[in-house]
């Protein structure tokens, strides 16, 4: 059951990437991080989504994403068990109040 939950969590950014393919080539791009972490003694998984950096082109954003790989971003808690990065057009807002 845990494997199924983690699989769904990890597939979410890929779905967002598929939706972003119709974006204008002239827009800026945001590198988003989706952190998967566990909470307290009960090990309940939760997701945190952070805007990491902005790039003028999709190519530059993707290059930076590949350099980061699956590492945790600086300052991420040790309870973070994984990180997924995705580049999306700047008009896509994954943050609070979207």
pLDDT one-digit tens code per residue, 47-90: 888 899 999 999 999 999 999 877 777 666 667 778 889 999 99
Which region, left, alpha or beta, applies to residue 16 given φ > 0 means left and ψ of -120 to 50 means alpha? Answer: alpha
User: pLDDT at position 24, please?
Assistant: 47
Residue with tokens 């998967």: 36
> Exposed, middle or buried: residue 75 (CB in 10 Å: 0-12, 13-18, 19+)?
exposed
83 touches 33 (CB < 8 A): yes
Q: How confident is the model at residue 16 (pLDDT cuts 50, 70, 90)?
A: very low
Instruction: Check residue 78 and give its pLDDT.
Output: 67
Which of 19-23, 32-36, 63-67 is most confident? 63-67
How many other C-beta atoms lie within 10 A of the C-beta of residue 23?
A: 16
Spell out where the chain has E strands.
29-39, 44-55, 80-89
């Amino acid at each position: 059951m845990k494997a199924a939950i983690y699989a769904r969590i990890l597939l979410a950014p890929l779905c967002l990437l598929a939706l972003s393919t119709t974006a204008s080539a002239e827009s800026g791009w945001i590198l988003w991080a989706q952190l998967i972490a566990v909470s307290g003694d009960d090990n309940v998984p939760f997701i945190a989504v952070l805007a990491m950096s902005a790039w003028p082109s999709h190519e530059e954003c993707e290059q930076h994403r590949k350099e980061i790989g699956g590492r945790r971003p600086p300052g991420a808690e040790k309870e973070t068990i994984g990180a997924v990065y995705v580049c999306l057009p700047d008009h896509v807002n994954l943050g609070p109040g979207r």
